[in-house]
């Protein structure tokens, strides 16, 4: 099951269609069927949350031929990890279970030079929050490489230096805006090395590298594809594959963001505060109960329904039932939120129990910068 177009998967894709038209991102629905011939697609893929890709065919080919492939993903430790950050790691864990080698870069150089974050805080958040949460969510330490941008292997830095010759200022400005400075410039070249280095022999020589990201990172991926082309004969680099997932709506209706506490629920959120945040969430409900019974709610515009779709309901049948209970007006928002709260608290309680041990593991696997 899962391949028929789900009622919840279609609506918001409309907003993302622009990306197909203007940037050449392909709809993920095109490769879903092929993937399902090999293995069960991830819940986020079935539900249209993962909506786009570039060159995902390469991953399918690798899976079919039983060839090794790798996943590269980045941690930007600005603010606590929340549910809006969880979709990436859910996909990474899925690929790891399919046999992929996992590279996780902690973007500490970018966080320091571009976002102006404090170095101690960067290390602390990356290890004790993000990485610990990743492990508690089920990321295994097998086939896993975690590194800090400021503390990695020589060949990685050589890439940054070589890449500088074949990247233009106008490309960099297209990514970071007109006000380029040395920090941003180095951050872009560093991200190119992040994305492309698993292809080098010294890092495993992976022909297929997939980078799952939110659409905001696509400019980097377009540049990485161009850089790969420009270094194809010199270094044998190939274009990376990428997938794009929708952002999770914040509980206040905007994008879920660590800068607005009422918009997000952290994975380390105390249960009491998590419960009260979801009960206060905006919904797709009508102004009065009477209207809602008559017209039904609008789950497509509801942050609570998004939490259920992206994170809290594993069964497609159950999600579909909730969708129609809302749509038909059979269920009102109060009842729905109580149900969502119950699921959220059960999830968080179980997750947070694993965090203590995960923190210990997290601090032992990453090579923390010396100063």
- How many angstroms separate the CA atoms of 73 and 132, rounded? 15
* Shortest Cβ 276–ligand SF4 spacing (Å): 15
CA dist list (Å): 93 to 36, 70, 103, 334, 351 = 17, 12, 12, 34, 15
194 binds ligand TRP (CB under 6 A): yes
Interface map 108-147 toward ligand TRP (x if CB under 6 A): --x-------------------------------------
28 vs 305, beta carbon nearer ligand SF4 = 305
Helix (H, G, I), strand (E, B) or coil at 82: strand
CB of 315 to ligand SF4, least distance (A): 16
Q: Does residue 297 bind ligand SF4 (CB under 6 A)?
A: yes
Contact between 84 and ligand SF4 by CB under 6 A: the answer reads no
Site for ligand SF4 (CB under 6 A): how many residues?
13
3-state secondary structure of 119: helix
Site map 275..294 versus ligand SF4, x via CB under 6 A: --------xxx---------
Residue 253: CB minimum distance to ligand SF4, A? 12
Q: How far is the CB of 75 from ligand TRP (least distance, A)?
A: 7
Cβ at position 129, least distance to ligand TRP in Å = 15
Q: What is d(CA 230, CA 245) in angstroms, rounded to the nearest whole number?
A: 28
Interface pick for ligand SF4 out of 333, 348, 355, 358 (rule CB under 6 A):
333
Whole-angstrom distance, CA of residue 151 vs CA of residue 168 = 26
Q: Comparing C-alpha atoms, which of 82, 25, 24 is closest to residue 51?
A: 25
Total number of residues binding ligand TRP (CB under 6 A)? 13
Please measure the distance between the N-terminal and C-terminal CA atoms of the chain and give it in whole angstroms.
51
Cβ 308 to ligand SF4, closest distance in Å?
A: 7
> Does 256 contact ligand SF4 by CB under 6 A?
no
Which of these segments, 56-64, 191-199, 220-228, 329-337, binds ligand SF4 (CB under 6 A)?
329-337
Q: How far out from the chain centre does Cα 137 lie? A: 14
Q: What SS3 class is residue 71?
A: strand
Q: What angle do CA 260, 264, 269 make, to 5 degrees?
A: 115
202/179 Cα distance (integer angstroms): 35
d(CA 327, CA 340): 16
CB 326, min distance to ligand SF4, A: 3
Q: Say which residues have a Cβ less than 8 Å from residue 356's Cβ, sequence separation at least 6.
A: none
Which does residue 110 bind out of ligand SF4, ligand TRP, none, counting CB within 5 to 8 angstroms by kind? ligand TRP
CB under 6 A: which stretch of 82-90, 218-226, 297-305, 311-319 binds ligand SF4?
Answer: 297-305
Check residue 74 for interaction with ligand TRP (CB under 6 A). Answer: yes
- Token pair 């890092």 is found at 203
284 interacts with, out of ligand SF4, ligand TRP, none, CB within 5 to 8 A per kind = ligand SF4
| 3-class SS of residue 22 | helix
Contact set for ligand SF4, span 194-223 (CB under 6 A): none
Residue choice 19, 195, 265, 304 for contact with ligand TRP (CB under 6 A)? 195
What stretch of H or E contains 156? helix 154-163
CA distance linking residue 171 with residue 185, whole number of Å: 10
Minimum CB distance to ligand TRP smaller for 126 or for 331: 126
Is 76 an interacting residue with respect to ligand TRP (CB under 6 A)? yes
Angle between helix axes 333-365 and 271-279 (nearest 10 degrees) is: 140
How many Cβ atoms from other residues are within 10 Å of residue 187's Cβ?
24
The C-alpha angle 142, 143, 149, rounded to 5 degrees, equals 115
Which one of ligand SF4, ligand TRP, none is in contact with 195 (Cβ closer than 5 to 8 A by kind)?
Answer: ligand TRP
Question: Per CB under 6 A, does 102 bind ligand SF4?
Answer: no
The residue ranges that bind ligand SF4 (CB under 6 A) are 283-285, 297, 299, 302, 304-305, 326, 331, 333, 336-337
The residue ranges that bind ligand TRP (CB under 6 A) are 72-74, 76, 105, 107, 110, 191, 194-195, 211, 213, 217
């Amino acid at each position: 099951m899962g391949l028929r177009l789900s009622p919840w998967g279609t609506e918001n894709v409309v907003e993302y269609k622009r990306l197909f038209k203007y940037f050449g991102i392909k709809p993920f629905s095109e490769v879903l069927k092929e993937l399902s011939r090999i293995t069960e697609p991830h819940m986020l893929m079935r539900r249209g949350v993962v909506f786009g890709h570039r060159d995902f065919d390469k991953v399918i080919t690798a899976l079919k031929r039983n060839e090794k492939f790798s996943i590269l993903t980045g941690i930007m430790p600005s603010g606590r990890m929340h549910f809006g950050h969880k979709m990436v790691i859910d996909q990474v864990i899925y690929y790891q279970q399919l046999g992929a080698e996992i590279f996780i870069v902690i973007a500490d150089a970018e966080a320091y030079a571009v976002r102006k974050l404090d170095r101690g805080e960067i290390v602390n958040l990356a290890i004790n929050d993000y990485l610990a949460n990743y492990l508690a969510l089920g990321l295994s330490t097998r086939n896993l490489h975690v590194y800090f941008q400021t503390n990695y292997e020589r060949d990685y830095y050589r890439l940054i230096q070589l890449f500088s010759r074949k990247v233009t200022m106008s490309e960099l400005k297209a990514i970071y805006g007109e006000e380029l400075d040395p920090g941003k410039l180095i951050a872009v070249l560093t991200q190119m090395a992040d994305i492309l280095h698993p292809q080098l022999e010294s890092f495993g020589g992976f022909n297929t590298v997939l980078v799952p990201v939110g659409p905001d990172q696509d400019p980097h991926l377009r540049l990485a594809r161009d850089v790969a082309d420009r270094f194809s004969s010199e270094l044998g680099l190939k274009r990376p594959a990428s997938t794009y997932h929708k952002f999770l709506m914040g509980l206040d209706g905007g994008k879920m963001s660590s800068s607005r506490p009422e918009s997000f629920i952290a994975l380390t959120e105390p249960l009491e505060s998590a419960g009260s945040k979801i009960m206060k969430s905006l919904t797709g409900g009508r102004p009065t109960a009477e209207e809602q019974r008559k017209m039904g709610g609008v789950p497509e515009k509801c942050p609570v329904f998004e939490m259920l779709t992206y994170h809290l309901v594993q069964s497609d049948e159950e999600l579909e039932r909730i969708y129609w209970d809302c749509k038909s007006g059979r269920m009102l928002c109060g009842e729905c939120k109580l149900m969502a709260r119950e699921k959220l608290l059960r999830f968080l309680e179980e997750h947070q129990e694993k965090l203590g041990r995960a923190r210990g593991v997290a601090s032992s696997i990453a090579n923390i910068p010396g100063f």
